[in-house]
Chain A
Amino acid sequence: MYSFGSHKLRSLKSFGVSGVLSEKADVFYSTTFSTRYIGAISDLLSARMKKSGLNELKLRALLLLSSFQGYRGQFKKRRGIQLFSRGDLDLLDHPIFLECGIDQEKIAIGVCFVLKESLNLNSEGISERILANTPQDPFEEMLVGLHYYADRIILKFQSDTRKAEVIALMAIEGKIASLPGQSQEPLEFVLLNRDHLESTPQPRAYYNLGDLDYNKALKKDHKEMSIEISSTGDFLMPSDHFESEEEIPLEVEIPQVTTETQEEIHLDLQSEEVIPEVHPVPILEPTHFGIKSFWNRFKDRIRNFLDQFFNTPEPLMEVIETAEVVEQEMEDLQLSEESIESESVIEDSGNAGHIINRLMMDLRVGAINQLLLRSSQELKEIRKGIRNPKIIHWIEGILKTVHSERSHLHSLAKGLERIIRFNEKNSKEKLLALHEEIKHKESQITVKTQALARTREHLVEITGNVERLKIASQASALDANYKKQFEMTQKMLISVKNENNQLKKSLAEKNGDPVVSQNEVDEPLEKSMSAINSGEMRKSLDGALKLVKDYKKEAEIMKARCVTLQKREVKMKIELTQLKEALEKKAL
């Protein structure tokens, strides 16, 4: 019977590591589709099993090699169309099963997989080959590696289903004599078939790795980060007044309240002035009625407390509770705090400065302060009745603690107030600077707008001038045109005049009419010639054009007359010839 350690292996003819472990074994398992997270798994298992004193290097090596053995033994490249496509082609179609079991003396690491068809497992002589370190194929090479780190190696194979399992056994140090380096025991090969397959023996418990408190396990050795106070001292923020840490005097003088002290209490956080030095803040002298009522109310309770003190082991808590009750009662009595508070303290809780102000007021003259003073006053009375100095000491200690806490709170409030004032100051300065910048920019804007207006006006002027010049240039151009036209019309006039004269001459010669004098024609020309200037050019031109038209009309009329005269001449010639012929005939 195959054995390893003091316990016999329960079953070799079943799959699972629990068969090679005792009934008290815990088995941790994980299903995986790749070798990607083997590192994380080995981290977790190493952390989980650290206390068992295992060899971590061996454990991690065996986990890694087993995982790759299973993965490579099962992985086959996909061919054909996949119904559900896989983004990662290195993933297995179905998982391999990793188990790590631990009992009292050993650890078993097993990987269960289905051997792919392309891998032929040559079971004959496999144990000898692994022992002799002469593997035949990559599958056996991995077995050699496993064999090196493990104390025992078991290979199970079910030929009909090709289901395989490799189990590496590792002795817990000190429990089983383990061999250094390579194990001397050969690989145990177990051939299984469906008929003789046994059911897996039950371990104590199965644990999915996800059920482990992995966060805690993996961070087990890390201390929680905390910053402790330096050994060279805890430096506090600077203060502008002395913090009194003196003991509270048992006999406290209670000064009378005056209006002057009320003004001293005033704290103005809004102003930029330096805060004046804080004066001792007086309180209202408690009335005789107040002390009596307080004593009457609490004397029984204090006496009860004293009676209990001799019997109870921890009277301190009761003292604290009593003090708290007293404080509560005092608040209920509604002592005249309002008369002490400054008028400038605004009740608006929205303003941080006012809140700080109120806090400081409360610390100085509020319930805590009154409690302290009253307590110290009452203690004076109580001392007379109490014989045990421990009680007195304890009460005094509590009062000291409360006083020191109050001082601490006060210093914190001061610090906070300083910070607030500093921030307020900064923000005010920033605001002022921003206002100035705004003003400066506004002035720049006004200057620029003025300059812009001026340039616009200038532009308007310039455009006006340009327009005028344009007009002028256009006018001069017109003048030139007019000049040309005038010269042309002049020439036309002259030619028309000459024609006209000729016609008139001919007409006059025919009819004996007086010839139109040249002067009547030249005078308007001379007039127009003499009137050639830029201002009257147009008028003269118009006049000239009119004259030309008139002369043209006259010329046409003359022409028409000439034509008629010529026709008449022709007629007359014809009549003359007829007359001549008639005369000749008659003469004959």
Chain B
Amino acid sequence: MEFSRKKLPKEDLSQLYRVRIETIQPFALMISPAYLYFKANEKFVSVKGPLDFFTPPEISRLKKFKYFYFPSFVASILPFREAGQKVQALLSCSDAIVESTSENPFPAIRLAPPSYEVADCVLKILGPLWWEYPNQGAGIEPYLVTIFVNELCQLLPEGQLLLGREKDVEKLDHALFRSSWVVFLALHLGYCDLNFLNDLRLRILSENMNDTAPVRYWNELDELISLSYDSLKNTRVRLIHANFFSDRSEKIAQKLEARLARVLSHFMSKGSQPPSIFGKRGFIDV
């Protein structure tokens, strides 16, 4: 993904976040540009752009540098990452049923919460990810959705990523945005099964990267996918507005409108500086 500021001065050190290189997994998508410090140049030079990834040889070659540096922008997007982790943990809850033994004839049984409780909790986690943008209304940036879903779901297959980067990076980014957006909306509708979401994301990604005919589910999922595509036509969409789903005839749109109404009234974040990849606080200069 394209970004501004390929180099940063040495003086920016105090504003940068350090990450130990050994903690970065191969093929994990970077949440922002990653920089290395070169002593000879006395500068931070970017080695990877946002949504790019490191291969195992790259990581082993760069290990000697010990740290990657990330811009202060990551502070505004870490909540999206944390939300992804929380939802993943929530969806990973399962029943804990222990067989009774002679030593413990009445073991404690913990049942996973019912689906509607999970859907409720998920919405409470997703809600604050929506922000009220000045002069634009409630919305969310597709990049931030991708960060969230990237944390929620498993790593994408290396073959897909390598092929996508090789063929067309912009197309890969678009496929990532779209697949993440579909998953994000599916969560809003209560599709709270992690394996299904992983599967859905991968399917959408593959279809968009390879321009293959979409696989149909023949239920309201098709409607959801279609609606997602309509709301995110290309990578130039900076902000997806919550009111996109208002006053639409599709059943899915009506359901989403009802859920987002709850989000906007109870959970949406408000503030003078909503997170954004654009501008000084982001990594794309406008």
Contacts and interface: CB of A to CB of B under 8 A. Distances in A.
B114 interface: yes
Contact of A205 (B94, B195, B218, B258): B258
Interface in A83-97: 83-88, 91, 93-95, 97
B250 to A, nearest CB: 8
Contact of B259 (A113, A208, A212): A208
B199 to A, nearest CB: 6
Nearest to B203: A83
A144 interface: no
Given A83-B199, A83-B202, A209-B119, 8 more contacts: A31-B115, A31-B191, A41-B116, A94-B196, A94-B217, A206-B258, A210-B115, A211-B120
A207 B258 contact: yes
Contacts of A31: 115, 189-192
B219 A94 contact: yes
B193 interface: yes
Interface of B is mostly: helix
A84 B190 contact: no
B259 A211 contact: yes
A112 B195 contact: no
A155 B193 CA distance: 28
Contacts of B285: none
Nearest to B188: A208
Count class of interface residues, chain A:
35 or more
Interface in B250-286: 250-251, 254-255, 258-259, 262
B158 interface: no
A159 to B, nearest CB: 11
Given A114-B219, A211-B258, A93 B116 contact: no
Contact of B218 (A162, A208, A210): A162
B234 interface: no
A441 B23 CA distance: 57
A214 B255 contact: no
Contacts of B220: 15, 97, 112
Contact of B196 (A18, A87, A93): A93
Given A84-B154, A84-B195, A200-B251, A209 B116 contact: yes
Nearest to B119: A210
Interface in B178-211: 189-193, 195-196, 198-199, 202
Contacts of A33: 193, 196
B118 interface: yes
Nearest to A29: B255
A163 B219 CA distance: 7
Contacts of B64: none
A37 interface: yes
Interface in B97-143: 114-123
A490 interface: no
Interface in B66-100: 94
B236 interface: no
A31 B249 CA distance: 20
A447 B259 CA distance: 82
B221 interface: yes
Contacts of A87: 94
Interface in B211-256: 216-221, 249-251, 254-255
Nearest to B256: A206
15 contacts: A33-B193, A84-B195, A84-B202, A86-B195, A91-B195, A162-B218, A199-B250, A208-B116, A208-B119, A210-B116, A210-B119, A210-B121, A210-B123, A211-B259, A214-B116
Top 7 A-B residue pairs of the complex, sorted by shortest distance between their CB atoms: A210-B119, A210-B120, A209-B116, A40-B114, A161-B218, A37-B114, A84-B198
Contacts of A208: 116, 119, 123, 189-190, 255, 258-259
Interface string A111-146: 011100000000000000000000000000000000
A104 interface: no
Interface in A472-490: none
Contacts of B94: 87-88
B192 to A, nearest CB: 8
Interface in A208-223: 208-212, 214
A87 B122 CA distance: 21
B190 A210 contact: yes
A330 interface: no
Which of B191, B192, B218, B259 counts the most A-chain CB atoms under 10 A from its CB? B218
Contacts of A40: 114-116
B283 to A, nearest CB: 31
Which of B118, B196, B221 counts the most A-chain CB atoms under 10 A from its CB? B196
B199 A93 contact: yes
A30 interface: yes
A32 interface: yes
A95 to B, nearest CB: 6
A57 to B, nearest CB: 21
B251 A16 contact: yes
Contact of A210 (B117, B157, B216): B117
Given A30-B115, A40-B114, A95 B193 contact: yes
